[in-house]
């Protein structure tokens, strides 16, 4: 619980009631496609934790594939949407990824999908997330880690976009600060009422080498690297995603 006077962080705003409007394509259909491609890597891992599980779209796909699964997310709104699905009741808890509410060695695999990392301004907090993943994994357990390709983002021209969703005009302006942080300023204005919603996303950009070093410090080694949700090889200058398959030592 926040102390009086503590600032509200961007991720506490972004993953609340406006999230379905701002990210309408982050749905179960996409999760199904990703699990069709990567699900075999999980083997017979039991149970599986979806770290930053959101509304439970990956959890639903894992349950469909007969995995024992659990999810954790900081957002009350997202957790409530997840547990609104009967099959997910009792399988999702609210928690901070820097202090996971699970015992050591609880899981055979952990998933962290769609850039659910790098949210914290202090590098040590982001590193702490990886240490928590390692702590809650059994030795030999798998960590499937899906992040943006920071090297590509730094090279490309960042475009501002404008689109319409369900009565809102949504403007997104992107920039990079100090070569270290991807910033997206979001403004959603309702076309009829004129009401507006604004916030600023900030993702710490880590490249492949930095992440490999961080993972190693958390007793995890990278066994495979892919560049997209179709499991194509990672190419630093071209790939949209950086998807790392890691093993707990």
Instruction: Give the orientation angle of helix 208-217 with respect to helix 123-136, to 10 degrees.
Output: 50
Number of domains in the chain: 2
Residues 141, 166, single domain; the answer is no
Confidence of residue 115 (pLDDT cuts 50, 70, 90): very high
State whether 194 and 222 are in the same domain: no
Per-residue pLDDT at 23: 87
pLDDT greater than 80 at residue 2: no
Structure tokens at 216: 């190693």
pLDDT of residue 233: 97
Question: Does the pLDDT value for residue 5 go beyond 70?
Answer: no
How big is the chain by its Cα radius of gyration, in Å?
A: 18
Task: Identify the CATH number of the domain in which residue 241 sits.
Answer: 3.40.50.150
Which one, of 178, 223, 226, 173, lies nearest residue 200 by Cα?
173
Average pLDDT over residues 197-217: 97
How many residues appear in the chain? 249
Domain assignment present for 3: no
Same domain, residue pair 162 and 83: no
pLDDT at 220 over 90: yes
- One domain for residues 47 and 161: no
pLDDT digits (tens, 9 = 90+) for 125-138: 999 999 999 999 99
Residue 161's domain comprises: 153-201
Going by pLDDT thresholds of 50, 70 and 90, the confidence category of residue 3 is low
Would residue 132 count as lying in a domain?
yes
Do 212 and 182 lie in one domain? The reply is no
pTM across the whole model: 0.94
pLDDT of residue 232: 97
Do both 215 and 238 map to the same domain? yes
Domain-located, residue 5:
no
- Mean pLDDT of the region 70-97: 94
**Four-CA torsion 94, 206, 234, 147, nearest 10 degrees:** 20
Evaluate whether residue 167 is within a structural domain. Answer: yes
The mean pLDDT of the chain is: 94
- Tell me: do 97 and 124 sit in the same domain: yes
4 is a domain residue: no
Do 74 and 109 belong to one domain? yes
222 domain residue, yes or no: yes
Query: Which residues, including other chains, have CB under 8 Å from residue 245's CB and lie 6 or more apart?
Result: 41, 142, 143, 144, 145, 222, 223, 224, 225, 226
Is residue 1 domain-resident? no
| Pairwise CA distance, residues 149 & 146, whole Å | 9
Residue 88 sits in the same domain as residue 191:
no
| 50/110 same-domain check | yes
The stretch 80-107 carries a mean pLDDT of 95
Query: Are residues 140 and 217 located together in one domain of the fold?
Result: yes
The verdict on 224 and 143 lying in the same domain is: yes
Is residue 215 in some structural domain? yes
């Amino acid at each position: 619980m926040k102390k009086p006077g503590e600032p509200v962080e961007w991720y506490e705003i972004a993953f609340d009631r406006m999230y379905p409007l701002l990210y309408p394509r982050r749905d179960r259909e996409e999760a199904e496609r990703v699990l069709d491609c990567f699900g075999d890597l999980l083997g017979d891992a039991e149970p599986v934790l979806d770290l930053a599980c959101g509304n439970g779209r990956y959890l639903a796909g894992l349950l469909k594939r007969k995995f024992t699964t659990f999810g954790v997310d900081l957002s009350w709104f997202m957790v409530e949407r997840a547990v609104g699905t009967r099959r997910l009741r009792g399988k999702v808890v609210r928690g901070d990824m820097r202090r996971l509410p699970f015992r050591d060695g609880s899981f055979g695999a952990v998933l962290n999908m769609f850039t659910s990392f790098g949210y914290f301004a202090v590098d040590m907090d982001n590193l702490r997330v990886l240490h928590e993943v390692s702590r809650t994994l059994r030795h030999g357990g798998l960590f499937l880690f899906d992040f943006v390709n920071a090297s590509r983002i730094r090279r490309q021209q960042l475009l501002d976009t404008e689109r319409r969703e369900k009565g809102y005009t949504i403007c997104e302006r992107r920039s990079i600060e100090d070569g270290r942080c991807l910033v997206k300023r979001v403004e959603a204005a309702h076309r009829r009422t004129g009401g507006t919603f604004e916030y600023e996303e900030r993702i710490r950009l880590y490249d492949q080498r930095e992440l490999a070093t961080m993972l190693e410090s958390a007793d995890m080694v990278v066994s495979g690297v892919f560049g997209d949700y179709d499991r194509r090889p990672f190419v630093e200058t071209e790939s949209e995603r950086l998807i790392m398959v890691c093993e707990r030592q």
